[in-house]
Amino acid sequence: MTTINTAYQNAAAHGVAAFELLPEYVQGFLLAGAEPALQPTTRVLLGDSKTLVAFSVVGLSSGKLVLATDAIPPVGVLLHAATSGATNTTIYGEVFLSGCFNIDADSPLVWHSSLDTEAERTANNNANLIFRRRLADGTSGV
């Protein structure tokens, strides 16, 4: 009779069974409130030679989408990752131009390194686009 090793026997020699390697789920709260309401995304042309990840806080430079910085105020949040080539005329990003977005530690938002404090992230809030903590005391409420 032949001996057949399973995932339970000699696990160190044969790796770990797929069902034992589960993804790690973490809480990620994109929104901090209901007002202003999150509106459908708008297509905006990506800047030249840009790679932006999902949930990047973006602004406009020469009418094209770039990562918001201390010199380029945020206009929205990118919904999906996007990459463009040099002299881009065809690649668009889907952008939330309105909403109340979370800036707590559990937020999935991606910020430029020049916007590293809460004061800098909230400096350009307006009636349609707000960045704030989910709760006034800064706790996650979970």
Topology (CATH level 3) of domain 25-132: Virus Head Decoration Protein; Chain: A, (2.40.300)
Whole-prediction pTM value?
A: 0.78
- CB-based burial label for 62 (10 Å; 0-12, 13-18, 19+): exposed
What is the residue extent of each domain of the chain? 25-132
pLDDT at residue 15, as a whole number: 58
Which tens digits make up the pLDDT trace of 44-74? 999 999 999 999 999 999 999 999 999 999 9
Residue count of the chain: 142
Residues 104, 109: Cα–Cα separation, whole Å: 9
With bands split at pLDDT 50, 70 and 90, how would you rate the model's confidence at 100?
Answer: very high
